Amino acid sequence: MNSIRLKTAIGQLAAAVVLLGAAYPVAAQQGDIGKGSALFATHCSECHSMKEGKNKKGPSLFATLGSKAAQREGFAYSDALRNSQLVWNAETLSRYIANPKTAVPGGKMKYDGLDSASERNDLIAYLVNPVR
């Protein structure tokens, strides 16, 4: 790799880190996208797809971070989530994944919760950047 290409690559990497940091200041430092991808496959993919518009038992999680809860078209959300006024960021999402039933009482996500904060960080890093 010549030095110009190397500099471009470093510049792109820096830009990606800045972007990720803006969207998700906490987990950007710690979250491992590869681990997050594996966690998503085991814990979430039964009900969720990362593809835009693809709802399964749960709504598509395409571009979830930064959006208001319960906005996906064609998905019948619970009233509880629809009225929750939640905006998905690192904190609200982490709390929801840790225990959906206490975070959104009356919601219909039948998932017991992911106890490990570092695993939640990995998962959220993947949700922000699901390329791999």
Nearest to ligand HEC of 2, 89 (CB atom): 89
Q: Does 35 bind ligand HEC (CB under 6 A)?
A: no
- The nearer residue to ligand HEC, 46 or 115, going by C-beta atoms, is 46
Contact call for residue 44 and ligand HEC (CB under 6 A): yes
Contact with ligand HEC (CB under 6 A) among 20, 28, 33, 114? 114
Q: Is 113 left (phi over 0), alpha (psi -120 to 50) or beta?
A: left
Residue 101 binding ligand HEC, by CB under 6 A: no
DSSP 60-109: --TT-TTSBSS--TT----HHHHTS--B--HHHHHHHHH-HHHHSTT---
